[in-house]
């Protein structure tokens, strides 16, 4: 089992990416294929790296953040993301990990790997820290405007991810809304509600924004427009709180000394709220494991993204989704009908 890593994607590529891949190779004894400009990758690897675990596939082209994803993916066959995806398609790698353009990773997966039968639209599943562990939030950006049956499919994929990869026995799935009552919601979520009830998952009903971080559910379902805003708002508020705390501490000597004494506790705190700790966001619904990491991924984040990829492969995530979707009557049946009627 090998993992393909897009060595050229991300704000700190290839330096941090190669470093993270090396850490993962050593720590997990994981075979990794670094896909990117061979010369640059070799320069980052240096002379002392585990040659039995690290191989390189040369891919000189790069897709920049500003490029139109679908167009760029079609044109740049020798870009690192397209070549990494191709390795998965050809069975030469079991999964791919990229911190490059999310749009390019998505377009590349859709074109190269294709959708799982029965899934109309793949979703990106963000894994956010909560009071009690982690909450899977999906979609966090793959689809802007969603139909009710899309939300139903997301709920099944999120449920399976939480169960298989996070190891939660019977994950609680909530539909993100503006109130807990069944009567609350937008046109789309009101129509999605009965579909989630029929999805064969542990659907607990509507949830509010605060539930994501309180850990009252394991999976929170929403469209990609809302999920993206909530994900980034969460990042923003965590950053703002940490900065504010530091500012206030720096105002007094007693506080500074006190904080030195509490530094271990603060570091544990920081670790628990750190997005990089979980690693990447899986792109669910495509025929293969594709993990999308934050653009500003450090070596640690990348290493954790590789861990997530390994866990997804080990737990046969793609097969589980395929099986579950084919068994439950979703999307084309009641879902499609209701969607057409109400939106």
- Exactly one of 74, 232, 323, 337 binds its own copies (CB under 8 A); that residue is 232
CB of 255 to its own copies, least distance (A): 4
Using CB under 8 A as the binding rule, the residues of this chain from 137 to 166 that contact its own copies are 141, 144-145
What is the Cα–Cα distance from 83 to 87, expressed in whole angstroms? 6
Q: Look at phi and psi of residue 105 and say left if phi exceeds 0, alpha if psi is from -120 to 50, else beta.
A: alpha
- Exactly one of 234, 282, 305, 335 binds its own copies (CB under 8 A); that residue is 234
Q: Is 226 in the site for its own copies (CB under 8 A)?
A: yes
User: Of the two residues 188 and 293, which places its CB atom closer to its own copies in the complex?
Assistant: 188
SS3 188: helix
Using CB under 8 A as the binding rule, the residues of this chain from 117 to 136 that contact its own copies are 130-131
Q: Are strands 95-98 and 289-292 parallel, antiparallel or unpaired?
A: parallel
Element (H or E) spanning 172, and its range?
A: strand 172-176
- Exactly one of 84, 113, 196, 222 binds its own copies (CB under 8 A); that residue is 222
Q: Is 180 in the site for its own copies (CB under 8 A)?
A: no
What length does the chain have? 343
Q: Is 236 in the site for its own copies (CB under 8 A)?
A: yes
Q: Is 64 in the site for its own copies (CB under 8 A)?
A: no
SS3 245: helix
Of 233, 303, 242, the closest CA to residue 272 belongs to: 242
- Exactly one of 178, 296, 326, 327 binds its own copies (CB under 8 A); that residue is 178
* C-beta of residue 30 within 8 angstroms of C-beta of residue 53: yes
What is the Cα–Cα distance from 262 to 160, expressed in whole angstroms? 39
Q: Is 39 in the site for its own copies (CB under 8 A)?
A: no
CB of 238 to its own copies, least distance (A): 7
**Burial of residue 238, with CB atoms counted within 10 A of its CB: 0-12 exposed, 13-18 middle, 19 or more buried:** middle
CB of 66 to its own copies, least distance (A): 9
* C-beta of residue 11 within 8 angstroms of C-beta of residue 295: yes
Q: Is 71 in the site for its own copies (CB under 8 A)?
A: no
CB of 248 to its own copies, least distance (A): 4
Neighbours of 341 (CB within 10 A): 9
User: Of the two residues 31 and 249, which places its CB atom closer to its own copies in the complex?
Assistant: 249
Contact map string, positions 251 to 290, toward its own copies, x by CB under 8 A: xx-xxxxxxxxxxxxx-xx--xx-----------------
Neighbours of 51 (CB within 10 A): 8
Q: Which residue has the tokens 């585990």?
A: 50
Using CB under 8 A as the binding rule, the residues of this chain from 185 to 214 that contact its own copies are 185-187, 189, 208-214
CB of 241 to its own copies, least distance (A): 6
User: Of the two residues 6 and 223, which places its CB atom closer to its own copies in the complex?
Assistant: 223
CB of 232 to its own copies, least distance (A): 3
The values of phi and psi at residue 193, to 5°, are -50, -55
What is the Cα–Cα distance from 87 to 61, expressed in whole angstroms? 16
What is the Cα–Cα distance from 11 to 299, expressed in whole angstroms? 11
- Exactly one of 9, 10, 118, 224 binds its own copies (CB under 8 A); that residue is 224
* C-beta of residue 221 within 8 angstroms of C-beta of residue 205: no
Site residues (vs its own copies, CB under 8 A): 130-131, 141, 144-145, 176-179, 185-187, 189, 208-215, 222, 224-226, 228-241, 243-245, 248-249, 251-252, 254-266, 268-269, 272-273
């Amino acid at each position: 089992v090998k993992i393909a890593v897009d060595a050229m994607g991300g704000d700190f590529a290839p330096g941090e990416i190669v470093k993270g891949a090396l850490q993962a190779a050593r720590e997990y004894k994981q075979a990794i294929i670094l896909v990117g400009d061979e010369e640059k990758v070799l320069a980052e690897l240096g002379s002392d790296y585990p040659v039995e675990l690290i191989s390189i596939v040369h891919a000189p082209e790069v897709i920049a953040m500003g490029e139109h994803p679908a167009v760029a993916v079609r044109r740049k066959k020798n870009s690192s993301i397209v070549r990494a995806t191709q390795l998965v398609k050809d069975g030469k790698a079991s999964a791919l990990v990229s911190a490059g353009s999310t749009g390019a990773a998505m377009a590349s997966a859709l074109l190269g790997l294709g959708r799982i039968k029965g899934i109309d639209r793949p979703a990106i599943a963000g894994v956010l820290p909560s009071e009690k562990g982690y909450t899977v939030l999906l979609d966090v950006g793959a689809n802007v405007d969603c139909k009710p049956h899309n939300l139903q499919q997301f709920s099944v994929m999120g449920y399976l991810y939480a169960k298989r990869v996070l190891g939660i026995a019977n994950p609680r799935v909530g539909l993100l809304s503006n109130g807990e009552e069944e009567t609350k919601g937008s046109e789309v979520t009101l129509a999605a509600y009965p579909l989630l009830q029929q999805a064969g998952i542990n659907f607990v009903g509507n949830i509010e924004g605060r539930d994501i971080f309180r850990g009252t559910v394991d999976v929170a379902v929403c469209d990609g427009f809302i999920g993206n805003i909530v994900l980034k708002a969460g990042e923003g508020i965590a950053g703002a709180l940490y900065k504010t705390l530091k500012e206030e501490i720096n105002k007094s000597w007693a506080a500074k000394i006190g904080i030195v004494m509490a530094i271990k506790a603060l570091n544990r705190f920081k670790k628990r709220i750190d997005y990089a700790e979980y690693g990447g966001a899986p792109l669910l619904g495509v025929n293969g494991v594709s993990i999308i990491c934050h653009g500003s991924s450090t070596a640690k984040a990348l290493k954790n993204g590789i861990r997530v990829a390994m866990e997804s492969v080990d737990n046969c995530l793609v097969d589980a989704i395929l099986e579950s979707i084919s068994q439950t009557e979703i999307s084309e049946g009641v879902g499609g009908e209701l969607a057409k009627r109400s939106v």
